[in-house]
Chain A
Amino acid sequence: MQDDYLRKLEAIEQEAVLAIQNAPNMLELDTARSRFVGKNSGIDEVMQALPKLSKEERPRIGQGANKVKTAIEEAYKERRDSLRRDELNKQLSADRIDVTLPGAGRPIGHLHPLTQVTNELITIFYGMGFSVIEGPEIETDYYNFDALNTPANHPARDEQDTFYTDVAPQILLRSQTSTVQVRAMEKMKPPLRVISPGRVYRNEEVNARKYPLFHQVEGLVIDRDVTFGQLKGTLNEFIRLLFGKPLKTRFRPDFFPFTEPSAELDCQCPFCMGEGCRTCGHRGWIELLGCGMVDPDVLKGAGIDPEEWSGFAFGMGIDRLTMLKFGINDIRHLFTSDMRFLEQF
């Protein structure tokens, strides 16, 4: 009797697990389960019969029935999860999209290369203690020339063909950001360490290298014991940071009316490392900027005692630097606002 039940249970388990494992979908899976564990199922029959069994037989058969029930439930869960997984995978693969189609929405805009380079210059010099000041583009001839040791009839005035305005005979468009030097010295007390980026104007025919307006950044340091060596050190550091590698530099004598001694700074061509290439005109060197020790007469004119203070100044063309950095071959690109140009940066 007892063995009959156990055999029956065993048969149920075998049949049920097989049916569950082979159920092709959720509907048939549920049907199979209720067939084997629900009302009127084989197990139900055994359970119904339990009270009729002897005290000794009851627990063994009962335990046996529960074990089979648990086994069936486990098989059910396993099959159910497997069917769900299949279902999900089917759905996911039906959801397939073409990920190579372009992204939606308006593409982000671009900052002008001059802005990018100017910001870089400001960041570099800020790190060396320079603050940023501004000066007017519409200037007096005093700040553009006289205060910079360039009196009327000085031949250096001709080297910068200047635009004059109809406001007054002495009001012009500054031809250099050096105008800011004396303005800064008059406004701020030394020690001072400033840069001033801005737009300058020269009456020159437009070509690939020249445009009637362009951008410069001026630098000025006034302090006790400022030396030519510090000018060299500061600018060497600037070049290292700008190009991200230490490049050889050379300071050559030059002339500016408002610095003494004056120098032109060349750096090793960053593209060929001095070997000679198209960018540097096969010279291996690139002329970067003009600099020098502030002329004592300029200091005096701004009310600073040149015996107590000394200083250095430098100025460079941002447009030229930008063209160099990005390999732009024609300055007119910078001012044409062609979207095909602007979107490259």
Chain B
Amino acid sequence: MKLSFDWLSDYVDLSGLSPQEVADKLTMGAFEVEEVRRVGPDIQGDVLVGEIMEIHPHPNADKIRLTKIRLGENGELQDVVCGAWNIEVGHRIPVALPGSKVINRKDGTALQIVQSQIRGVTSNGMLCSAPELGIAGSGEGILLLDAMTPLGTDVKGLLNLKQDSVLLVGTRSNRGDALSVIGMAREVAALFNRPLKEPTWKIPQINDSSAPLDVNIENATDCPFFSIRYISGLKNVATPPIMVQRLEAIGMRSVSSIVDITNYVMHELGQPLHAYDIRHINGRYIEARRGRAGEKLSTIDEKQRELNEEVLVIADKKGVIGIAGVMGGKGSEIADDTTDIALEAAAFASARVRRSSRLLGLSSDSSVRFERSVDIGSVRKASDRAAYLLTTICGGKLGAFSSSGSDEVKALYVDLRLSEMMRLTEIETTVEEVTRLLTPLGFTVKDKSQNTVTAKVPSFRADDVTREADLVEEVCRLYGYDRVPASMPKRTIAPPLPDTTFNTVKEALSAGGLNEACISSLVALSDVSGRGSIQTNDAELVQVLNPLSEDHQVLRPTLIPGLLKALSYNQDRGREDVWLFELGLIYKRDANIPIDKALTGTAEIPHVSAVISGANDLSHWQEKNEASGNGKTDFYVLKGVLENLLHRLSIAPDQVQFIPSDNAPGWFHPSRSAQVVVKPGNREKFAPIELGWIGEVHPVVADAYGLKNPASVFEMDVDKLRSARKEHAFQEISSTPTIVRDITADVDRGTEAGAVQQCIRQIGGKLLQQVDLVSVFDLSDQTKSLSYRLTFQDSDKTLTAEEIEKIVGKVRQQLTRQLSAAFRA
């Protein structure tokens, strides 16, 4: 909200305070002031009312003339050269005398007036146009003043030409009362401990005896109080400069005096008002009721609005004339020739105005105030204040005031224990101090007992101060948050150690050369269903009803599409080597989870997913040797990354199985992917844990995501990784010698190395410490050769060659029996 410092000074004594001081105090005690801006003309020195006595042609120029003016009834005539042509002898005009400062109308800078020679003629000042005095002027030429204005009057005072400061004050959803000059004045008064003041005015006697308008409220919940004041014979004259300037200072354009006055009172008192031209009101009847399907209204912003039963409207006998609390209708708008008006002042329910405003997508100064709730106790006062200003400024006769509903305010009393102040804020206070702090805010504070005060809550705070805690806050902020001494919680707590799995996973993967990504959990529906012929179980998807865009419609059921998009994004920017991982939640509906107060029928599971593409080793300058292949990433490179991760989580490699499956999710290459399963022990009771999937990206998917190079991905369930973690257990390091034997088995190319290794381990028994695959090569289209290095050791004694040969022989035998392996001599 914009607050005029000048306007504020009508309601609270600001003498000796700068706008910045007020802003700082407000920021620290009530509402943040985001900015203080200077507005209005900086006019200095003598700018007086003069009268043009003579006009002569300039002896040396055609476009300018020489005037003789006087500044008093018997004053000396002064020569002033003037270039404007709208002046005539007898006009009263503003004259800026030498030494004064006005505004350069060309660029808005300061214009110093000096006695000068203009083409050989001395000019003792300047006749001023509206822009030169910093006021929004209509038309060209010198500003013509009222012929009755006394000569020699200071124009600065006459036109209220002074600089003002505008404070940009933050608003709060619970403080509708503060959206007004008087509301802010109360805060300033309380913070500086200065008295509030109020302009004196009195509503005149009713002097129009026409019958009052009938008013009606359909539903007191929507509108507890509704009033119409009839005023006739108004003249839509020029709005007084002080009002125009104050309205302009806070960003409101001056429209016409009648409209300006309703706006002025709204900003002054916080109560929105609306004036209808009585010529367009049918049947001298106005009601507040719900809209009806099919009803339409052109609002004053010239837009056609479709109404319905959710919208509260103002209507006459024939139809809708306004949207209650939001905006009036174009048809009954005040015009320049309006004379008779119906002035509406009402209390509309905040929830209803909110609903109307949302449904119509229409917000106004009025709706913003009603939504934050206006003071029902001030409705009548605002109507009276506007009636006073209207009849004073625009003439006219005051007619009847008709109302419906009740604006009675139920007194609300709230107790505050001083001990509670102490308990919650450590502020030791007294009844006197609480009284001093709260009174300027409109509270009436009474001493209840030694320790407790009772505060009568003013009607304009009835919505936000209802409990002791609310008073604690009021007292605390007025006392000053900065005066509350800082301390630390008294209790010492040794909190349980945070779970380390997330960080261990992240550290292990980044150590493996992957960068961590953080990707939107809202994805496009096509990302998880359809694109690249991926079919997700739609029944498990959680969708957003009001998505920001199609790209943010579904909560991701997998991390993979996000990483593929990230990969594609980087590839499109010329980056080929992309190694990324993300640890984040995936979301799905879960029929086993109910929907109730605490549960949402959905599951959120932490997953970790990685994608790699491009080169394996980034030291391109080194010559690639045969062993490192072509240096490109593939399934095995990513598998190595995953194995390292599992190691880091103390998940034993011999318990992890990579199982090829026809049921791999659609992201994966069907014959270059595996399900990763952990069998945490040999005994039956340990159920296998399905960690996730790893594989190369399905070429169709790669194509759908516009990937330029092959890529591999994995996705693991982190909760399952956590459950598979084991504590490390020390094993005695044996000093007996180890014996190494190599065996090379020729098997069918379809035979999995895993099966060969499993067989070797099984037969090798306890003495077989380690099995390393040394080489794999294809012998023919049908067969391949696998070489293993077997390391034997007995921790108790030195093994003999015979013992080892026996075991190796058995291994060969079983490999042949189980896997039809052949052994070459």
Contact = CB atoms under 8 A, between A and B. Distances in A.
By size class, the interface of chain A is 35 or more
A56 B614 CA distance: 91
Given A163-B546, A165-B542, A252-B28, A140 B598 contact: yes
A69 to B, nearest CB: 47
A111 interface: yes
Contacts of B570: 337-339
B486 A236 contact: yes
A228 B616 CA distance: 56
Nearest to B598: A140
Contacts of B351: 153
A263 B172 contact: no
Interface string A74-118: 000000000000000000000000000111111111111011000
A156 interface: yes
Q: Which residue among B175, B484, B492, B543 has the maximum number of chain A CB atoms within 10 Å of its CB?
A: B484
A154 B510 contact: no
B220 interface: no
A112 B585 contact: no
A261 B173 contact: no
Given A112-B516, A166-B543, A230-B487, A137 B601 contact: no
A183 B472 CA distance: 26
Interface string B473-516: 10011000110111111111111101100010011011111111
Contacts, number: 273
Interface in B147-206: 172-175
Given A138-B604, A165-B542, A115 B506 contact: yes
A260 B470 contact: yes
Interface in B594-642: 595, 597-598, 600-602, 604, 616-619, 621-622
B544 A163 contact: yes
Contact of A136 (B354, B371, B509, B604): B604
Interface residues of B, number: 98
A191 B372 CA distance: 36
B509 A129 contact: no
Point out which of B354, B476, B517, B585 has the most chain A C-beta atoms below 10 A from its C-beta: B517
B469 A295 contact: yes
A158 B174 contact: no
A114 B30 contact: no
A324 interface: no
Given A137-B604, A154-B173, A165 B467 contact: no
B424 A255 contact: no
A17 B691 CA distance: 78
Contact of B424 (A101, A153, A227, A342): A227
B496 A112 contact: no
B410 interface: no
- Interface core residue of A109, A155, A226 (most chain B CB under 10 Å): A109
A206 B513 contact: no
Q: Which of B489, B579, B598, B616 has the most CB of A within 10 A?
A: B489
Contacts of A262: 473
A109 B484 contact: no
B221 to A, nearest CB: 12
B617 A104 contact: yes
B548 A206 contact: yes
A129 B492 contact: yes
Given A104-B619, A261-B477, A234 B544 contact: no
A171 B495 contact: no
B424 A171 contact: no
A4 interface: no
B521 A109 contact: no
From A111, A130, A193, A234, residue with most partner B Cβ within 10 Å: A111
A288 interface: no
20 contacts: A107-B513, A109-B511, A111-B516, A115-B506, A131-B496, A155-B174, A155-B371, A156-B174, A165-B545, A166-B545, A167-B600, A168-B600, A212-B548, A213-B521, A229-B485, A252-B27, A261-B481, A296-B469, A337-B517, A339-B578
Interface of A: 101-112, 114-115, 119, 122, 126, 128-132, 136-140, 142-143, 153-156, 158-159, 163-168, 171, 173, 183, 186, 191, 193, 199, 201, 203-206, 212-213, 221, 223, 225-230, 232-234, 236-237, 250-255, 257, 260-264, 293, 295-297, 310, 334-340, 342-343
